Amino acid sequence: MTEIERNELSANAMGGTELMATALANKLDPELKDKFQIICSRVREIDEDKIPILWLHDLPNDPESHHLSDKEARKKFAKFVFVSNWQMNEYIHTYGLRWDECVVIPNAIDPIDFDEKPKDG
């Protein structure tokens, strides 16, 4: 399984971001694990031996995104991944990201099958 970066906030979480990260990790070619560092929203460390990709799940006004106002900080990432076109456009407008640096993986999880409840009486 390809690893997706976790930090002190996401280590024990299982919300939408973590569900999407787990689903992506299960679908990616295992050989990519050694080539890419996928960071979900909160940058802690950049692995110099891997290609860093920042997968953003927050709004651009989130304090964890403010480092993107620094052009040099943005250069550290090969791509910025967003969960919607709207979110991508907001980041482009707020931080001056280039279109060719950005891609969207729609925010979605696999649906859960529900069993119909038995009717009383």
First to last CA, the chain: 48
Residues 95 and 65: their CA atoms lie apart, in Å, by 9
Rounded to two decimals, what is the model's pTM? 0.72
Tens digits of per-residue pLDDT, 70-95? 999 999 999 999 999 999 999 999 99
Nearest Cα to Cα of residue 41 among 18, 70, 71: 18
Low-confidence ranges of the chain (pLDDT < 50): 1-2, 10
Q: Which amino acid, one-letter code, is at 2?
A: T
Structure confidence at residue 118 (pLDDT): 81
Structure confidence at residue 1 (pLDDT): 33
Structure confidence at residue 52 (pLDDT): 92
Structure confidence at residue 31 (pLDDT): 78
DSSP 102: E
Nearest Cα to Cα of residue 6 among 18, 24, 16: 18
